[in-house]
Structure 1
């Protein structure tokens, strides 16, 4: 199949996935006599001022690039072709965090919480490095679809600069909420504590059995965004309580109770990982990714919201995890880790509990 050429130096290949700003295709960049893989995104989001957004995005990305922080997907170029605008990004060779979680769910098991903590640790150290650059560079949209797992065993932050550009240009379209571009922390705004909160939301959602925060029931999402999560110990008896308390601290509505910095939360994850018997370093994560999503497997179709995700149920319920006890009243006995999220929303919650 022939590919479209952009600006004489990029080859636009097949569409691989859909992201909030528009569909992303696998492409190639001509570099001297050779070529390298890149991700080429057609900008289709209904922006009020596309030129101002692009200028702001390039500015924020430039600051991150000059800081030379590893683990951040770089914006390489912006190409105008007729009526279309294309964003050219680094190619990250690996699945999104959401795809990795879904692959475990399809096999009837939860995503291993040890590897989840290891991913969070590296992600948080990357965010802390961004936060420490003069005027803090906050992401603002951390989630399971905004993190990719490179096959070398390192997580990569994608979409960096998008939320900052939206804020700087005053974009307020409904699509921003509908496409879950931005994390809505209790304090609002775009600042480093919002990224800590976003990391907590992501960890909570995955441990609760969802592939992403965006697919959880609205009532639960509202409670989480208000900093009042349902106690995960009710449904994950296999996860050490200290891990659950770490996640709850990241979700605190009071900034004095939340982790002060992303590095503080990363160090907590690091200490927790030392207590686990299995290795979760980069080589181990690389093997885990290849085992769960082999490189030669067909690329995933662009994500769609499935009825099973909306209800939280799965076609094949997973086996109980080792060490799990009886399930609390209100949860289906056959649903151990991939819980019925609508049913979780009916659990008795003390609305008068202190915040």
Structure 2
């Protein structure tokens, strides 16, 4: 049985002894898929008192965050979504302040937010508002005040929203347990109530958390607080989780299609021919009898009808294809008929794979290769912008149609950031892509990043130009970290002496063993394949072992043999 995230929320805010309340708080707990994919969000802000627009700054920050966070793509991680939203909010607040030309009216505020998604809490913080966690008998602050102490023990904010164009916001994530209490306070509360008293008030909390929030604020006021008093409190009553049986039933709600033959009709699609079959799926050219449009049906392999991890990936493939709208990524189409079986409907592409193109163009011009790479990079960028990693980029998964349009055509290994951070009873092992195209860090069991996809793109660029692989056939499963570290790049100029040294340098950087040594974005590689990079112009004379290890050891063996023969000859004469 599926459980959803369940939360009890309490809130209270008053101006206290100040003439106006410059604090603001808010919460948003969506329902259904939005709760599962984006979580629930809570925020508190305290406008800087030296500013006439303090209240407005706090209100804009909280409302803007709660509205815009849930407008970000479902595929983004919590951190990616929140940081992009907060960066935009900070720029807007700062821009408004600069437009006023009056620091006294600037829009500056502290900001602290918590997003509860799946079984994790994600904290975002800047300024001196606080978020606390009470678990059992332990009350712990989850944020650190951003203060600068001046003379007379007076503190000033060192960081806040709207104070500077550059935003440095604290982030942390931690696991959540049922029964956890999360307390939000502005400085008018926590600077006048010691943690021991806060904990006592929280332990006394009953079913009505609003009452507890009011009691905390009144205690701070009684302790002499001259400031605004804002308290927000939430209790985690249940965490989202589904047992394996219910997840499997959901994944198998649609049965696998029967074996398809030419002329058969499946849900209004007439099978014209089989395009491709593998151990994991089948592709069929079909015609939508209602519209007359040719499409491709992708059906799952019966070899995996009882494998929940495979079924989840198959469902996710359609989820990905529906969300990416890019001319260089194959489209997955909404079925025009009610589906009675499990399959995907893909756009039909008439043309060839990049592998077939490479076989027909063994010595392509650099300009041709760069033009194709530019299209592949555009498609790959569409994945990365949605917080997705492709993780199986290779020539067989790239299609070139009759008009020269390049598309990435397979999403079976895609890692979706927003889904990867949700708890599931299904064991989600990170897939390792195809031999020789998989980034070395994945072979070492390290997490994938966008640079992992860029490694695959670099291998493809090298192979398109040379017809060979940058590490030969040496890069694949079974390699430990020590053996990977001993791998050496084979200069592209071994295979094509006509390639400029700066092109070879760009390729070498693109396929560097260590991720931090590679390009950070696709456009850097494309730029260096078109414009000579001075860093690659004058290469040092690299040793033969580094340039061509096979040739080095062959030469060493021949030299050793000749020396042995010479020694034997001299001994014989002696």
TM-score class, shorter: 0.5 to 0.7
Q: Taking structure 1 as reference, are residues 249 and 112 closer, same or farther at Cα in structure 2, changes over 3 Å only?
A: same
Partner of 2:459: 201
Which of 24, 28, 46 matches 2:283? 24
Q: Taking structure 1 as reference, are residues 44 and 248 closer, same or farther at Cα in structure 2, changes over 3 Å only?
A: same
User: Which SS does the other structure have where 1:162 is aligned?
Assistant: coil
1:69 matched to 2:335? The reply is no
Residue 98 of structure 1: CA displacement?
A: 0.3
Does the 8 Å CA contact 2:280/2:301 hold for their aligned counterparts?
A: yes
Partner of 2:410: 159
Residue 232 of structure 1: CA displacement?
A: 1.4
Does the 8 Å CA contact 1:76/1:90 hold for their aligned counterparts?
A: yes
Does the 8 Å CA contact 1:61/1:74 hold for their aligned counterparts?
A: no
Segments ≥4 residues shifted beyond 6 Å: 222-227
Which of 367, 387, 406 matches 1:114? 367
Residue 49 of structure 1: CA displacement?
A: 5.3
User: Which SS does the other structure have where 1:236 is aligned?
Assistant: coil
User: Which SS does the other structure have where 2:550 is aligned?
Assistant: coil
Provide structure 1 residue ranges, at least 5 long, that are not aligned to the other structure.
273-328, 330-343, 351-355
1:14 matched to 2:273? The reply is yes
RMSD: 3.8
Does the 8 Å CA contact 1:69/1:130 hold for their aligned counterparts?
A: no
- Give distance in 2, aligned partners of 1:48 and 1:192: 31
Partner of 1:258: 518
Q: Taking structure 1 as reference, are residues 164 and 194 closer, same or farther at Cα in structure 2, changes over 3 Å only?
A: same
Within 5 A, what are the aligned runs for 1:203-282? 203-210=461-468, 218-219=473-474, 228-269=488-529, 271=531
**Segment of structure 1 superposing worse, 38-47 or 124-133:** 38-47
1:92 matched to 2:349? The reply is yes
Which of 156, 169, 180 matches 2:434? 180
Does the 8 Å CA contact 1:186/1:225 hold for their aligned counterparts?
A: no
Partner of 2:550: 346
User: Which SS does the other structure have where 2:297 is aligned?
Assistant: strand
Number of corresponding residues: 261
TM-score by length of 1: 0.61
Which of 396, 402, 406 matches 1:145? 396
Residue 70 of structure 1: CA displacement?
A: 2.4
- Give distance in 2, aligned partners of 1:226 and 1:60: 36
Residue 162 of structure 1: CA displacement?
A: 3.0
Within 5 A, what are the aligned runs for 1:126-141? 126-133=379-386, 136-141=387-392
**Bigger relative contact order, structure 1 or 2, given CA contacts below 8 A and separation 6+?**
1
- Give distance in 1, aligned partners of 2:485 and 2:465: 17
Does the 8 Å CA contact 1:39/1:90 hold for their aligned counterparts?
A: yes
- Give distance in 2, aligned partners of 1:45 and 1:266: 41
Residue 143 of structure 1: CA displacement?
A: 0.5
Does the 8 Å CA contact 1:200/1:250 hold for their aligned counterparts?
A: yes
Does the 8 Å CA contact 1:120/1:269 hold for their aligned counterparts?
A: no
Residue 112 of structure 1: CA displacement?
A: 3.8
- Would you tell me which structure has more strand in proportion to its own residues? 2
Residue 62 of structure 1: CA displacement?
A: 3.1
Partner of 1:337: none
Does the 8 Å CA contact 1:259/1:265 hold for their aligned counterparts?
A: yes
Provide structure 2 residue ranges, at least 5 long, that are not aligned to the other structure.
1-260, 421-425, 533-543, 555-574
Residue 46 of structure 1: CA displacement?
A: 4.2
- Give distance in 2, aligned partners of 1:110 and 1:224: 29
Q: Taking structure 1 as reference, are residues 67 and 44 closer, same or farther at Cα in structure 2, changes over 3 Å only?
A: closer
TM-score by length of 2: 0.40
Does the 8 Å CA contact 2:493/2:504 hold for their aligned counterparts?
A: yes
Residue 228 of structure 1: CA displacement?
A: 3.3
User: Which SS does the other structure have where 2:438 is aligned?
Assistant: coil
